[in-house]
Amino acid sequence: MPAPQVGVGLPVYNGEQFVAAAIESVLRQTFPDFELIISDNHSTDKTETICRQYAERDERVKYYRAERNRGIAWNYNQVFHLSSKPTYFMWFSHDDILHPAYIQRCVGVLAEDRSVALCYSNWGEIDEAGRPFASHVSRVNMSSADPVLRFREAIRLEHLCEPWCGVTRTDIVQRTGMYGNFADYDRVIFAEIGLYGRFVELQETLFFRREHKGRSIYLYSSRAARASWINEGKPLIFVFPHCRELREFWAAVRRSKLSTFQKLKCAQALLKWAWTYKRRIWIDFAGVFWGIAGRIANILRMRNAV
């Protein structure tokens, strides 16, 4: 059988509350030539039962379960590796919803213009019951034909969430460093995808992000906490999230096929980025210092108690 045109990667862990609605929204797509790859990161709730039921009913659904929780970054990469490497690929969260026309509209743009690397839409917000309560126009503008300008835009933004569920080209994803085990890995991969082509935003609300108390931004408010969560929940001391992000941005530039002059312009943009966030970089180092100091204090207290 030939590979489907689109791969939808759905990583999940303990998503029993919302995963069925997410799967249903994919299966209702008007573009039928897709595969839905679900990678279950060893859930302990009813996620496995729910997903296996869909896989048994629809051959487009492929369900895989990890032998242990390997961390969120691993799981995002896993759904891509498990795909049949179709022409297009998109990541999708277990708690979000797609409009039935989402994939068809995005694929139409990508198929028409090879200069487009990623297509996404305006996005709305829904509550835990699936009721819409807000609609948003993206703050991202990566439509320039100049890859350096697109890179500057990507690193300038505090958040680069809107294109997260966009449909991109599989061959471009394969050139990237994929998802890394560090905070803000999503910003880096989309900045890197932008080095290979333009982003197009559909002026329709076709993607719906669910707002609920279990979202990671609420459970792990600091970048250091998110770094620990991404690394399988391991307690970390030497965490330099902004320094790591800067290093990964530069690694993306080095991997690209930009000219030497263009890479130098990107390096200049990164120097400006480092200066803009110099206070946060210093906080990275201060956090490590206080983390080490806290460990030493705990060791001393334990010795005194003995």
pLDDT, residue 296, reads 64
Give the chain's count of helices (H) and strands (E). Answer: 12, 9
Question: Treating both helix axes as pointing N-terminal to C-terminal, what angle do 223-230 and 72-81 enclose, rounded to 10 degrees?
Answer: 50
Span 225-247, mean pLDDT?
A: 71
Of 208, 209, 226, the closest CA to residue 217 belongs to 226
Query: Does 236 have pLDDT greater than 60?
Result: no
Which of 168, 197, 216 is the C-terminal boundary of a domain? 216
Q: Are residues 61 and 127 in the same domain?
A: yes
Average of per-residue pLDDT values in the chain: 88
Q: Are residues 67 and 108 in the same domain?
A: yes
Residue 62: its H or E element? strand 61-65
- The token duo for 33 is 């030539």
Q: pLDDT digits over 289-300, tens only? A: 555 556 666 666
Q: Are residues 114 and 11 in the same domain?
A: yes
Query: Does 288 have pLDDT greater than 60?
Result: no
The count of structural domains within the chain is 2
- Percentage of the chain exceeding pLDDT 90: 65
Q: Are residues 83 and 133 in the same domain?
A: yes
In a domain, 53, yes or no: yes
Give the pLDDT band (50/70/90) at residue 229: low
- CA dihedral sign, ordered 87, 93, 98, 100: positive
Span 98-115, mean pLDDT?
A: 98
Distance CA 73, CA 156 (A): 23
Span 228-243, mean pLDDT?
A: 67
Q: pLDDT digits over 39-53, tens only? A: 999 999 999 999 999
Backbone angles phi, psi at 142, to 5 degrees: -120, 40
Q: Are residues 174 and 32 in the same domain?
A: yes
pLDDT, residue 180, reads 80
In a domain, 290, yes or no: yes
The amino acid at residue 26 is V
Span 176-191, mean pLDDT?
A: 86
Q: Are residues 82 and 152 in the same domain?
A: yes
Span 2-17, mean pLDDT?
A: 94
In a domain, 261, yes or no: yes
Q: Are residues 210 and 272 in the same domain?
A: no
Beta strands 88-91 and 116-126 are unpaired
Q: Are residues 249 and 130 in the same domain?
A: no
Q: Are residues 126 and 234 in the same domain?
A: no
Q: Are residues 69 and 162 in the same domain?
A: yes
pLDDT, residue 287, reads 61
C-beta of residue 2 within 8 angstroms of C-beta of residue 85: no
- The token duo for 170 is 């599989």
Query: Does 55 have pLDDT greater than 80?
Result: yes
Q: What is the DSSP string of 204-232?
A: EEEEEEEP-TTSHHHH--SHHHHHHHHTT
DSSP 165: G
Q: Are residues 169 and 269 in the same domain?
A: no
Q: Are residues 243 and 117 in the same domain?
A: no
> What residue numbers bound the domain in which 184 lies?
6-216
Span 100-123, mean pLDDT?
A: 97
pLDDT, residue 219, reads 73
Tracing tokens 């312009």 back to the chain, one arrives at: 265
In a domain, 52, yes or no: yes
pTM: 0.88
In a domain, 1, yes or no: no
Which of 123-127, 166-170, 281-285 has the highest mean predicted lDDT (pLDDT)?
166-170
Residue 126: its H or E element? strand 116-126
DSSP 163: G
The least confident of 208-212, 221-225, 234-238 is 234-238
